[in-house]
Amino acid sequence: MINRDEYLNWLIGFKDKELIKVITGIRRCGKSTIMGMYISYLLRNGVEQNQIISINFEDFDFADLKDSKKLHDYVMERKLSDKTTYVFLDEIQNVIEFPLVLDSLFIKDKIDIYVTGSNAYMLSSEIATVLSGRYVSLKMLPLSFAEFHNGTNPEKPLFENYTKYLESSSFPYILSLQGQPKEINEYLNGIYSTVILKDVIGRYKIADSMMLESIVSFIFHNIGSRLSTKKISNTMSSSGRNIDTKTVEKYISALMDSFIIYQAKRFDIKGKQYLKTLEKYYVVDIGMRFMLLGRKNADVGHILENVIYLELIRRGYRVFIGKFEEFEVDFIAEKFGEIIYLQVAASVRETLTLERELLSLQKIKDNYPKLLLTLDEDPDADYDGIKRTNALKWLMENKYV
């Protein structure tokens, strides 16, 4: 089992705080496991077993508790009066009117509540409406490259493990399937199918599943490229599948809520405003992309860009695509007022490529850090304040919130 310290420390930091702790993320990214790790931490640090109530709503043993009244009664019957009761509710979105249950439990004395869910909709709408100001959220992702490297063969060269990281997957269970490509492919296909069928088609009542999967394939194929809903609509229509932009927007929103894709909006650095179109999209796991599209014609630079984007999210940054006049900066990362500009390239060993990648950063005249990340195994360099370093070394840094 891989230690995922940044997530565990987050939970420990909010222990006994009067807030509901909400953990979200794509299915099988490790939400249940991190709750198990946290429960083990509690038991090692003075909490007794009878203080813990743990329910997984994907376990048929708890099927009756999907009724909100029965769930509430179940917890209250087991709640201790003299000690804090720690309540863990896994995949809470399966419970009818679950925000009302959480709201009622929240106001009771000596209850510390932790929930997980595989859909962002419950945060943006269902929970937020009833529990505004009463919860904090932890957005989980599958394994980082550092977690994968340290949890597999840390004695191997970084690039060798990076290749395995991409080709197998970042989902934690994949570590037990190393060297079994057929089984890995079947496992990833199972996650993909479950997300599409349960979290997207089922939840959003999408009738045209084939169109949805065509849009998924298009976005997966075009990670790191500027897209608009109109471009996606036109592409589908040109292949004989008519779909309007509003439906494309609905499908993309559902995919984002299920954490299978992420959207990075564009920001005009000079005009200091967000732009309304030509966003970029990134996939939650490159192994899943390979499973769906195959490994041919994969853009090494865009795949690296995808990995860097997810790492910035892990480290607690808000991430945007930068525009400065006619130039583009791959990422603007902001956290607590701190800003970093990043360019990402597979290689800059050719002079013209290096000059092109530096030019966008050179145009920005403020004093925030500027970083160029590549796969080149060369010594770090500095170009008038612009730092160039190996992307895999950067991915191994421990800079989590």
Residue-wise pLDDT tens digits, 284-331:
999 999 999 998 878 999 999 999 999 999 999 999 999 888 889 999
Q: What is the pLDDT of residue 122?
A: 64
Q: Is the pLDDT of residue 282 over 60?
A: yes
Distance separating alpha carbons of residues 325 and 174, to the nearest angstrom: 43
Q: What is the pLDDT of residue 123?
A: 62
Q: Is the pLDDT of residue 238 over 90?
A: no
- CA dihedral of residues 179, 184, 185, 188 (deg, nearest 10): -160
pTM of the model: 0.94
Characterize 91-106 residue by residue with b for buried, 16 or more Cβ atoms within 10 angstroms of its Cβ, and e for exposed: bbbbbeebbbbbeebb
Q: What is the pLDDT of residue 218?
A: 96
Mean pLDDT within 391-397: 97
Q: Is the pLDDT of residue 114 over 60?
A: yes
Nearest to 369 by CA among 355, 383, 380: 383
pLDDT > 90: percent of the chain: 81
Numbered ranges of CATH 3.40.1350 in the chain: 299-401
Query: pLDDT band at residue 269, thresholds of 50, 70 and 90?
Result: confident
- Decide which of 3.40.50.720, 3.40.50.300, 3.30.950.10, 1.20.1050.10 is the CATH code for 5-139: 3.40.50.300
Distance separating alpha carbons of residues 9 and 1, to the nearest angstrom: 16
Q: What is the pLDDT of residue 125?
A: 59
pLDDT > 70: percent of the chain: 97
Q: What is the pLDDT of residue 170?
A: 97
Q: What is the pLDDT of residue 203?
A: 85
Q: What share of the chain is helix, strand, coil (3-state, %, to 5)?
A: 50, 20, 30
The SS3 call for residue 288 is helix
Q: Is the pLDDT of residue 33 over 80?
A: yes
Mean pLDDT within 180-208: 94
Nearest to 96 by CA among 74, 121, 126: 126
Q: What is the pLDDT of residue 3?
A: 84
Numbered ranges of CATH 3.40.50.300 in the chain: 5-139
Q: What is the pLDDT of residue 247?
A: 95
Identify the CATH number of the domain defined by range 299-401.
Answer: 3.40.1350
Q: Is the pLDDT of residue 401 over 60?
A: no
